[in-house]
Each structure stands twice: as C-alpha cells, then as structure tokens.
Amino acid sequence: MQGKKTKVSVIVVNFNGMSHLEACLSSILNQSYQNLEVILVDNGSTDGSLDYARRRFPNLLVVENKENLGYPGGINRGAAIATGEYIAPINFDTEVDQNWLASMVAFMDENPSVGAVTPKTLLYHDKTKIGTLGLNIHITGLGFARGLGQADSESPRKPLRVAGVSGCSFLIRREIVEQMGGLNEDIFMYYDDVDLSWTINAMGYDIYCLPESIVYHKYDLKMSPEKLFSLEYGRLSLLLRYMKPLTFVLCLPAFLFTELLVMGYCIARGRRYVSAKLRALISPFKNIRQLMEKRSEAQRLRKISDFQLLRKLQLNYEWGQLFHILR
C-alpha cells in the first residue's frame, strides 16, 4: 500500500480508541479508491488499542507517540512520514462509505483553486440525520457544524462551497500543509478545524463540502469547561494572529456581542465555565514574543485582505446549536 507514487495519505489519530478502530480502519481499507497509504498515529494510548491495530491490520504505517500530542500534533507527526500528494486526516470514531475517498480526490484533481474538501457526515446512531456539511464560521471566529441535525433526505447533493472543513474528516493538498508549517499545535483539539480553515481561506484557496462523500461519525454536540477553554483560547489566538487593527475596530460591535454571549453562557453554567473563559482570555498573552512571531507567520501566508476573507464567513449565529449546548 505504501509507495513512491502514493496519491493519498490517510491519517488516523488514535487515543484509547479500542472500541472504534475495527470499524474505522476496516472501512478505510475497503475503499473503492486504492492509491493510498494508511497511517495510524497513536497518542500514547493505554488501552491496548495500538497493539490490537498492529496485529489486526499489519500493513498499517504506525507512528507511536509517547504522550498525547493532541489532534493537530498527531496529524503533523503522521504527515511527517506521509508520501501522498493529498493528506486525509480522519477521526477514529468514524466509519466511512466505500466511495468516501474517490469523490474527494477526483474533485480536488479537477479544481486546483480548491485547497481542501470535506465530506458529508451523518450521525452514526441515526444515519438519517446530518452531522455536518462542513463548517459555518462567524466573523468573530465561532465555528458551527453546518446542517447539524437536519434530515439527510433534504440535504444538498451537489458540491457546496463552505467556510470550513470538519475536523472529523477532510482532504487537503500536501503542499498547503507544508507551506503553513503543519497544523497549529497550540490548539490541542476542538478548534483545530476552524483554525485550519481560516488559514486555508486566508491563503486564497476555496473549501468545498462534497455530499457524495459520506462519513458516519459518533458525534454528540456537548460542552465541558475543558472544551470551552480550548474553543475560546483557539478563537482569541486566531483573531490576534490574523485581524488587522482597522478590521478589529470595524467589527468591534460584533466582537463585543460575541464576548457577552459567551460570558453569559459561562455564567449560566457556573464557576468552572467562567474560570475556563477567563483563562482563555489570558493565555494568548502569556508569551507576547511568541504571539507576535505567529502573527508575522500568519500575515506572511495570507494572500487576500481581511475584507475578502470576511466575505467567506457569516454574520449570523447558529442559534439552534447555541441553545442546544445551553440545555
């Protein structure tokens, strides 16, 4: 399966995924598209899942990390040994349709201005419902699962230009990953897809969702203090890296409203959420020199203006998802 002319490197990042790996890896290896290599990156699992995967799937390429490096860190370690023209990260708690990869590769080959594509995900435990059709990204950096909970029978069937990929599964050009120096490892998990998508957009590429490519994902929209910290830290650090001062001033009302919205949610949920939000506000400023270096790198990568970038995003909030996590 590995070779010098490999087209796609599929990267599965595993952390204690024993109950998921059989379905995930079997479905990937049963693809109609076969010009691929499958890389399993283990982030220090303690449940025996790495040994199981090695025995059950002996042709896998394996990267064994001694500690949990997070989702972006795991993808980067996999990409370091990948030989594919395209990189295809996918969550371990998924099962993929047999044509999951073929349609994404064909679309990317035909559309050089597209930097990344993401499949349609259906909820694993109710395959009649949408998990996501890519991401909607608000101008203040909030990310929303596009189409979450909607009936699949009513979903679009043609490729859709979207603001962001779902971190659950996407296909990206290897050269883009190399240009950006890998995914942002400052974000351990949860916000990595918004951060990556913002960067792809800023580099002047388009992002599409391909409904004919299907992934079944064991997903449930829920929140915890740790997740909220990661989301809010990622959002603030992203805006500090990319937003020009004038853009920030022009968008200030939207930023203030989002801050009030998030803080109100935290107050409603209790002290641990408020603490997580305050830590997220402070954390990006703990190393100003590093922040400025990352801002310089982000500005070097970008090929479009803030105005052009914001046109790819949205002004509306996904109130249904916001109310769902309030429950």
Query: Is the domain of 79 the same as that of 130?
Result: no
Of 123, 132, 72, 102, give the one whose Cα is nearest residue 7: 102
Return the percent helix, strand and coil in the chain, to nearest 5: 45, 25, 30
Query: Is the domain of 264 the same as that of 242?
Result: yes
Q: What is the CATH number of the domain that holds 51?
A: 3.90.550.10
Q: pLDDT (tens digit, 9 = 90+) per residue, 108-142? A: 999 999 999 999 999 999 999 999 999 999 999 99
Domain with 192, as residue range(s), is 96-327
Query: Is the domain of 59 the same as that of 76?
Result: yes
CA distances for 305 relative to 50, 220, 242, 251, angstroms:
44, 35, 10, 15
134, 181 contact by CB (below 8 A): no
Q: Which of 56, 76, 92 is the last residue of a domain?
A: 92
At 104, phi and psi to the nearest 5? -70, -45
DSSP string, 11-22: EEEESS-HHHHH
The domain tally of the chain equals: 2
Q: Which of 77, 92, 107 is the last residue of a domain?
A: 92
Query: Is the domain of 86 the same as that of 108?
Result: no
Query: Is the domain of 1 the same as that of 38?
Result: yes
Query: Is the domain of 258 the same as that of 148?
Result: yes
Separation CA 327–CA 322 (nearest Å): 9
Query: Is the domain of 29 the same as that of 127?
Result: no
Q: pLDDT (tens digit, 9 = 90+) per residue, 259-285? A: 999 999 999 999 999 999 999 999 999
Quick one: pLDDT at residue 1?
43
Contacts of 321 (CB under 8 A, 6+ apart): 144, 145, 148, 221
Query: Is the domain of 56 the same as that of 36?
Result: yes
Quick one: pLDDT at residue 326?
63
Contacts of 292 (CB under 8 A, 6+ apart): none
Q: Which of 67, 92, 117 is the last residue of a domain?
A: 92
194, 238 contact by CB (below 8 A): yes
Query: Is the domain of 61 the same as that of 131?
Result: no
Query: Is the domain of 122 the same as that of 74?
Result: no
- Over range 32-42, report the average pLDDT: 97
pTM over 0.75: yes
Query: Is the domain of 6 the same as that of 102?
Result: no
Instruction: With cut-offs at 50, 70 and 90, classify the pLDDT of residue 220.
Output: confident
Query: Is the domain of 84 the same as that of 118?
Result: no
Q: pLDDT (tens digit, 9 = 90+) per residue, 151-197? A: 999 999 999 999 999 999 999 999 999 999 999 999 999 999 999 99
Please check the confidence at residue 325 and state whether its pLDDT lies above 80: no
